[in-house]
Structure 1
Amino acid sequence: MARRSAVGHGRGTAVVDDESAPGMRAFDPSADPWRASETGRGRGRGGPRPGRWGGSGGRWWIWVGRAVLWALIVVILVNGIRAPFERFTESGGTQAPTGPSQARGTGFPTSAAGAFALQFANVYLNYDQQNAAAREAQLRTFIPDSADGQFGWNGLGELRVQSVHVAGVDARDANNGVVTVLARTQDRWLRLAVPVYAKDGALVIKARPALLPPPAKATLPQSGLQERDTALEGELAPVLGTFFKAYASSDQATLARFAERGAIAGLGDSVTFVQVREVNAPRGDAGERTVTATVAWQVPGNAGGAELEQTYELDMVKKGTAWYVRDIRGTTEPGAS
């Protein structure tokens, strides 16, 4: 009897030729490689175990990896469901955007309502009894169809405003808001409260506006006076005189000598330098100081030698014996110089 090799044929191909039964083949159990591993069970404690993978670590690491993967999938699913739900509940179940054009929490379109009220106020606050019909035609684009065409004006006299600006928007809810408009006549300020109704992108002046008192003039706080460095003020006066003369004409060659970092653009001959009237330098670091300077300018085209005094704030840095300008800007100090 001859046995044929099972290598390369799989588990079920280990057979023997039975000489007593020509043409018939019988399965040889001893040729089963899986059975061989079972018979070697008692050969030593380190021998391969039946039905198990003999590689390092076994199946334990596979189950750990699967557990980690499923945990990650659960976390992703929970976060994906929770995020839109939280956004929905925070917005009260609405889908209204909360961008810069809308009041946060109300959905009222503040930017659009402000622009609409501004255009309305330019028509409403300019009237002339000679052009009443033209005013009514313009107002009709802003007011309800059922409203009085002159919207409260009796058709007599005249009013002219020089400028109109939006001062603020009070959003009451998603559809209603009051736009505060400031207007300037020749001799006074007017403050107008304009009620605006918004719905699906459309706007209308909901009711007649109301005149309110103009903003009151604020009183500046009493700020503590800093001790002045008069010696430094005298040292900086001629330096800043040369600097501001170059600043007025945008003389880049001269400005480059004063710039501590970067380039200083200058005013491009929009004004003519007259004089540095005052320098205010508080005491501080010997090599770095923030000072203010009051400068007199002449504006081209103004007859009679008209001048404008303006106050600047400058960050000055000392290198060696020379002072350089790090930055120049306007000041917020009322008594700076």
Structure 2
Amino acid sequence: MARRAGRLATWAVVVLLAVVGVRSIISPPVRQEAAPKWGEKAEAEKDDVPETLAQQVAARFARSYLTWTHQAPQIRERELARDLPKGADAKAGWDGQGTQLVAQSIPGTVTQTRPHHARVLVDVRVSTTIGSGRKAGTTSAWMGLEVPVSHSSGRVLVTGQPALVGLEEPVRWKEPDAPATDTELTERTRTTVENFLKAWVNGTADQAAAPGAKVTPLGGHLTLRSLDSWSAFTGSGDRRTGLAQVRWQLGGAVLQQTYRITLAQVSADDASRWQVWRVTAQ
């Protein structure tokens, strides 16, 4: 009897192992994927200086840093102290002489140098007074300024001596070929474009534009000198585009500009005509 019970137990184990084996083939166990490791790049980025805040601080500091007048040196010191650590020298390398004004500062590339530290490149438009009295004159130029900043306690501060650097040189660029010109459409719509420009400069563009077009009034003290050229591109459909070279008179000078103008074909009473739909830069 005991021998029989042992045989039954043995067969039960064999059957159980067989069932488990078949289940593992039909429905293999789900493998637990290893949690992704925190990459070195992500680890470094969490210590980066916030770019937007760094650009704001650097642009403001650059403007104050390169603006000075010997007649009121305290103004510069007071403005620089806003973005410097407490106790820092607010003279920031200036000898207290001369007169200079920054008309504009434009922040650019933020280079992360080490955890919580970065450099910000700022383009600065500097106007300098040369000479004195009746012989005094002003010269303006763009300059590059790199501003070292740090992020601490939720604030970005200037924690190093800014340095003047060179600006990037122009590079070569090949303008893409213009689309072919639709001569017939160009001749048929030149007056349409010219009439629109006259209305645009007079603040009545909505009367000359196509129904539904949204053309913002030009404004300013401009006078249309001439429509030098108009070329409608080849294409199809009820929307066509072309380029217009226009001369404006303003500020005692004549300025030529190029516009990309989109025309819309408008139909009414079994007749159709082209009207201006959109005006943008080239």
When normalised by structure 2's length, the TM-score is: 0.69
Which of 93, 100, 120 in structure 1 is aligned with 2:61? 120
Tell me if the contact between 2:150 and 2:156 (Cα under 8 Å) persists in the aligned partners.
Answer: yes
Q: Which has the larger radius of gyration?
A: 1
How far apart are 1:110 and its partner, in Å?
1.3
- Report the AA paired with residue 236 of structure 2: D
How far apart are 1:205 and its partner, in Å?
1.1
Tell me if the contact between 2:213 and 2:277 (Cα under 8 Å) persists in the aligned partners.
Answer: no
How far apart are 1:289 and its partner, in Å?
2.7
Question: 1:101-180, aligned counterparts within 5 Å?
Answer: 106-145=47-86, 147-180=88-121
Alignment-derived partner of residue 278 in structure 2: 327
Gaps spanning 5+ residues in structure 1: where?
A: 1-74, 97-103, 332-337
Tell me if the contact between 2:204 and 2:217 (Cα under 8 Å) persists in the aligned partners.
Answer: no
How far apart are 1:312 and its partner, in Å?
1.4
Tell me if the contact between 2:232 and 2:241 (Cα under 8 Å) persists in the aligned partners.
Answer: yes
Q: Alignment length, in residue pairs?
A: 235
The answer to whether 1:215 aligns with 2:168 is yes
- Cα deviation digits, residues 163-199 of structure 1 (max 9, x gap): 1111232233441111111111243110000000111
| Structure 1 runs of 4+ with >6 Å offset | 90-94
How far apart are 1:232 and its partner, in Å?
2.8
Which of 112, 125, 141 in structure 2 is aligned with 1:184? 125
- d(CA) in 2 for partners of 1:105, 1:218: 35
- Cα deviation digits, residues 145-165 of structure 1 (max 9, x gap): 454442122233332222111
- Cα deviation digits, residues 236-261 of structure 1 (max 9, x gap): 21111112222223426623xx41x6
- d(CA) in 1 for partners of 2:58, 2:110: 10
How far apart are 1:292 and its partner, in Å?
0.9
How far apart are 1:235 and its partner, in Å?
1.9
- Report the AA paired with residue 101 of structure 2: R
Q: CA RMSD in A?
A: 3.3
How far apart are 1:222 and its partner, in Å?
4.2
Greater strand share, structure number: 2
Question: 1:1-337, aligned counterparts within 5 Å?
Answer: 89=38, 106-145=47-86, 147-185=88-126, 186-251=139-204, 254-255=207-208, 258-259=209-210, 262-267=212-217, 269-270=219-220, 271-285=222-236, 288-299=239-250, 302=251, 304=252, 306-318=253-265, 321-331=272-282
SS in 2 for 1:234: helix
- d(CA) in 2 for partners of 1:155, 1:190: 20
Tell me if the contact between 2:186 and 2:230 (Cα under 8 Å) persists in the aligned partners.
Answer: yes
- Cα deviation digits, residues 261-317 of structure 1 (max 9, x gap): 623344164344343221122333375431011223344xx4x4x333322112224
- d(CA) in 2 for partners of 1:215, 1:200: 34
- Cα deviation digits, residues 125-144 of structure 1 (max 9, x gap): 01223333432333233234
When normalised by structure 1's length, the TM-score is: 0.59
- Report the AA paired with residue 327 of structure 1: R
